[in-house]
Amino acid sequence: MRANSLLTTAVVSCLLLSIPPASAHPASHLSGAADPPAAESSGTSVNIIHVNPLQIERDLRDYDTAIVFYYVEYCPVCAQLRPVYAKASYLLQQQQLDETLDGETSSTRRVLAAVNCGANARSCIRTGVTRVPLFKRFRNGGRISEVLRYPRVNAQMLLAAVNA
């Protein structure tokens, strides 16, 4: 039991120490919720919801399936994945639009969501997120699996995961 609490303390300390000072990234640390990932220069409209890690089950319970991207603003790998996630969201929107135009009324509600662990470090740690980037799949608000790990992630894989 003592080893577990020491390990938890070590992980929490490492994560909190890895957060840069607020002056380095004021928007991501003072506002409490930075903008979710977006298509940086593609000009596409994306629909990624931003959720609080402590209220994630409540925020996602209206969706049959959700993929959640845990990130921090200053992480270079997370920055590389932001446009990939935005593209996956765009593809999901197009797929849902095509289903509607084809007359298919899918009762399955799917969404891509994001959690900024830089602005919510303690909350992310309390919910078991100990590293970023991380993708988790939720079904009806409850976490069912860790989906993909970098560097294997691409937009088609994320789309397949949210449709599974």
Q: What is the full per-residue pLDDT of the chain (164 aa) written as tens digits?
A: 444 343 333 333 333 334 333 333 333 322 233 444 443 334 444 688 898 888 888 888 888 888 899 999 999 999 999 999 999 999 988 888 887 777 766 667 889 999 999 998 988 998 888 889 988 888 887 777 766 666 677 788 888 887 77
pLDDT for 119:
92
Q: What global pTM score does this model have?
A: 0.67
pLDDT of residue 75: 93
Domains and CATH numbers, the chain: 2-163 (3.40.30.10)
Question: How many whole angstroms separate alpha carbon 121 and alpha carbon 22?
Answer: 13
How high is the pLDDT of residue 62?
86
Q: What is the pLDDT of residue 59?
A: 87
Q: Show Cβ contacts of residue 148 under 8 Å, excluding neighbours closer than 6 positions.
A: 135, 157, 158, 161
- Predicted confidence at residue 114, as pLDDT, reads 94
The pLDDT assigned to 109 comes to 84
